[in-house]
Chains A and B, each alone.
Chain A
Amino acid sequence: MKRLAPVLFLCFAVAPLAAGLVYALLYSLGLVGALSSGFTPVYWQKTLTDGSFWASLGLSAAVATVVVLLSTALALLLLVWLRPLAERPRTRFLLHFPLAIPPIIAAFVSFQWLGSSGMLARIAYLFGWIAHPDAFPPLINDPFYLGVGLTSMLLTFPFLLLLFLNHYQAANLLQLSQLASTLGASPAHINLRLVWPVLLRRTMPTLLLYGVFLFGAYEVPLLLGRQNPAMLSVFISQKFSKFNLADLPVAYVATVVYALVVVVFTAVFLQLNKSTRQTHL
């Protein structure tokens, strides 16, 4: 069974993905599919010189990076205040609750709260902060992707908070903090020099992988983001679902580039993780 397990994993997990990727590559080079007419680099040239493709790629990377950074900072700050309460079952339940919400539901909730005539706009109008509900600043389909960012953070930081809480316990940080305080560390010193660095080192692999997950997020940017530029997954979906058959190879090129970016990123992360484990934890 020990020998069979890797084979099964290769057959059912790796092979279908690899086959799909190879098919996408062949399609993008004009070697297979409805538009197949022999090898051609034209679709790659078309995609790689298309500004909207690079805008989508950059936008996805920026949203993923900003959301992971802000969620990490928020979760680390909340850890300081919530940790003493986190051992209570009710608090634990409340912390787990947001994880049960699917992204599509979170997107709808954000739509209701952040829309131009949404609940926040009505509250602002009620308190007289704005002249009429429509005067509320756009947070949905906005040019700065604030709606997407806020909703993604809403989904991300509870997960990170729980991750940090679990690692806090596993790393024995309560006792380490007590010891540090007897060495002269103030609460701020303890967070800055001990708790946060230890937690970030321990969770870096998960944070990076979560960034990859956000890089490919679909439902939230589809509902709350702009269509142009769209995040990469929405861009690819647009190309796939358009009636223009000539856009299909472009979608495949974007898919291959997206996969390559993720593979390179994962390889770098694995190398980083390996050296971090060897030298630090």
Chain B
Amino acid sequence: MDFLDIKNIQKSFGGARVLNGITFGLAEHQTLAILGRSGCGKTTLLKIIAGLLDGDGQVLLQEQDISALPPQQRGIVYLYQETLLFPHLNVFENIAFGLRLRALPEAEIQSRVGALLESLGLAGHARSMPTALSGGQKQRVSFGRALIVEPRLLLLDEPFGALDTETRGAMQTLFKNIAARQGITSVFVTHDLKEAVLMGDRLGYMESGLLHIYDSLDAFAADEKTGMRQEIEFWKKFKPFQS
């Protein structure tokens, strides 16, 4: 049995079917990158896994059926495209939020948050308010806030979509490093082909409420609808300017 088992998830809004029986499994410490166009149901799927939306079907995590559990008892953190930092808290308190909910001793909170701020390169910003941070810094705080509670599963809903190319690249590298170091299991949805390939240990493509998981990168590239082959062809034709 997989670490995460999704069984026949279905969801309709009004009369429109958004998810059409999604079933997949994900092993521990792996990242599943799901590629799909806007409106294909990626966000709905993640929200059902996180418990933020009701849906038919089963969500099993470490062999436990969590379908009926409220979000706060699932051990799954959902990261939005927007950083959604708590506006009334500074960087330190944003990251400490989940630890304070668990009523940990103050010394432990100080030490864990301090260490995480250091590893995220935010040690000098502990007392800064979210309005004083750049987009990349906000995203790092958002990651820190999610990672510090040691979630069983991390759901990332186009988390770098609002960042410029350079910051986006830096954040992708940061996430890859942290995921590898901490053995994070995650589902990463994006509509960016390159990002999906970079971030995923496994790759999936979602369309019209259906998800197809590929056995390998080659299988993913071979499938016309992922757009990877066209992308490769484009770069093959590309001729650099010659002086």
B3 at interface by CB-CB < 8 Å: no
Residues of B within 8 A of A280 (CB): 87-88, 129
B146 at interface by CB-CB < 8 Å: yes
A36 at interface by CB-CB < 8 Å: no
Binds A, one of B23-31, B78-86, B235-243: B78-86
| Distance in Å: Cβ of B191 to nearest Cβ of chain A | 20
Residues of A within 8 A of B57 (CB): none
B102 at interface by CB-CB < 8 Å: yes
Residues of A within 8 A of B134 (CB): none
B149 pairs with A281, CB closer than 8 A: no
| Distance in Å: Cβ of B103 to nearest Cβ of chain A | 11
| Distance in Å: Cβ of B75 to nearest Cβ of chain A | 8
A178 pairs with B78, CB closer than 8 A: yes
Contact flag A179-B80 (CB < 8 Å), given A184-B102, A185-B72, A197-B88: yes
Docked complex Cα distance between A183 and B52 (Å): 12
Docked complex Cα distance between A234 and B112 (Å): 59
Docked complex Cα distance between A201 and B149 (Å): 27
A183 pairs with B88, CB closer than 8 A: no
Contact flag A183-B98 (CB < 8 Å), given A178-B52, A280-B129: yes
B101 at interface by CB-CB < 8 Å: yes
Which of B74, B84, B102 is A176 in contact with, Cβ under 8 Å?
B84
B206 at interface by CB-CB < 8 Å: no
A161-184 vs B, Cβ < 8 Å mask (1 yes, 0 no): 000000000011001101111111
Residues of A within 8 A of B51 (CB): 181-182
A247-281 vs B, Cβ < 8 Å mask (1 yes, 0 no): 00000000000000000000000000000000111
Binds B, one of A42-50, A85-93, A186-194: A186-194
Residues of B within 8 A of A183 (CB): 72, 77, 97-98, 101, 145-146, 149
| Distance in Å: Cβ of B32 to nearest Cβ of chain A | 18
A175 pairs with B84, CB closer than 8 A: yes
Which of B70, B80, B97, B129 is A175 in contact with, Cβ under 8 Å?
B80
B50 at interface by CB-CB < 8 Å: yes
Residues of A within 8 A of B70 (CB): 181
B52 pairs with A181, CB closer than 8 A: yes
Docked complex Cα distance between A184 and B101 (Å): 7
Residues of B within 8 A of A194 (CB): 86, 88
Which residues from 86 to 108 on chain B have a C-beta closer than 8 Å to any C-beta of chain A? 86-88, 97-98, 100-102
B86 pairs with A181, CB closer than 8 A: no
Which of B50, B82, B88, B102 is A182 in contact with, Cβ under 8 Å?
B50
| Distance in Å: Cβ of B43 to nearest Cβ of chain A | 12
Docked complex Cα distance between A180 and B71 (Å): 9
Which of B71, B100, B131 is A181 in contact with, Cβ under 8 Å?
B71
Residues of B within 8 A of A74 (CB): none
Most interface-central of A184, A186, A193, A198 (chain B CB within 10 A): A184
Docked complex Cα distance between A176 and B78 (Å): 11
| Distance in Å: Cβ of A213 to nearest Cβ of chain B | 26
- The residue of chain B having its C-beta at the shortest distance from the C-beta of A171 within the complex is B87
B87 pairs with A184, CB closer than 8 A: no
| Distance in Å: Cβ of A194 to nearest Cβ of chain B | 6
- The residue of chain B having its C-beta at the shortest distance from the C-beta of A176 within the complex is B84
| Distance in Å: Cβ of B15 to nearest Cβ of chain A | 21
Residues of A within 8 A of B86 (CB): 176, 180, 194, 198
Contact flag A172-B84 (CB < 8 Å), given A184-B101, A189-B101: yes
B76 at interface by CB-CB < 8 Å: yes
Docked complex Cα distance between A180 and B52 (Å): 11
Residues of B within 8 A of A176 (CB): 84, 86
Residues of B within 8 A of A182 (CB): 50-52, 71-72, 74, 76-78, 151
- The residue of chain B having its C-beta at the shortest distance from the C-beta of A201 within the complex is B88
Docked complex Cα distance between A181 and B74 (Å): 10
Docked complex Cα distance between A10 and B52 (Å): 53
A178 pairs with B88, CB closer than 8 A: no
Residues of B within 8 A of A193 (CB): 97, 100-101
Known contacts A178-B71, A182-B72, A193-B100; 4 further A-B pairs (Cβ under 8 A): A172-B84, A183-B145, A280-B88, A280-B129
Question: Residues of A with Cβ closer than 8 Å to B?
Answer: 171-172, 175-176, 178-186, 189, 193-194, 197-198, 201, 279-281
The list of the 9 closest CB pairs from A to B, nearest first, reads A181-B71, A183-B98, A182-B78, A184-B101, A182-B77, A181-B72, A182-B71, A178-B52, A184-B72
